Amino acid sequence: MGYNVAVDGPAGAGKSTIAKLVAKEKGYIYVDTGAMYRGLAIHFLKKGINPDNKKAVADACRDAQVTIGYENGAQQIYLNGENVTAMLRTEEVGNMASKTSAIPEVRQKLLELQRSLAEEKDVIMDGRDIGTNILPEADVKIYLTASVETRAKRRFDELKAKGIECSLEEIARDIKERDERDMTREIAPLRRAEDAVLIDSSEMTITQVVEAICSYCR
């Protein structure tokens, strides 16, 4: 049985960045579940599917295979054998993933792969419902959050650094809408597990957050 660390929290809280650094520090395998949902989202976008058409989304899951690989220690996401890692972080893919991730067939598609990884390896896994649903018996559970303003500014700076024109107000609005969607969905909504440690990173550096999480891990 592997040693499991679950990191949950809202969009833009820095879960992936932090989890990767903790994995490196502790020698765990990092599993980015959000990237897996984004991999499926790319499949739906390629097929031109409306995310509100749940039957079409469910049907499309049948001919989609999302797998994880590692190149130079970095996680790669493959969709039907194609490496789609470079496409994962666009706003279009993120919004499609947020809208389709609550659909039961989408969740079931990825659940078995996520749990089997956790059974076999020492992993740190981040997402929206890791500690509450995917790995309810995780050895350590963290709920990582930050204010909407902080998360919007981080995303704004990230896009600007890539030369992408964007609006801080629009990003903040998208984050609020995504929070609302994630917290109110019927299946596995975003919430803090009762035994999860709350870490608000709004006023913390990345190093401070990593050190805080590592202090709870073996």
Strand partners of residue 7: 126, 142
pLDDT tens column, 39-91: 999 999 999 999 999 999 999 999 999 988 888 878 899 999 999 999 999 98
Of 32 and 145, which is predicted with more confidence?
145
pLDDT tens column, 111-137: 988 998 899 889 999 998 999 999 999
Q: Would you call 63 exposed, middle or buried from its count of C-beta atoms within 10 A (0-12, 13-18, 19+)?
A: exposed
pLDDT tens column, 158-201: 999 999 999 999 999 999 999 999 999 888 899 999 999 999 99
Q: Which pLDDT belongs to residue 202?
A: 96
Pairing mode, strands 66-71 and 74-79? antiparallel
Alpha-helix residue ranges (DSSP H) falling in 104-167: 104-120, 148-161
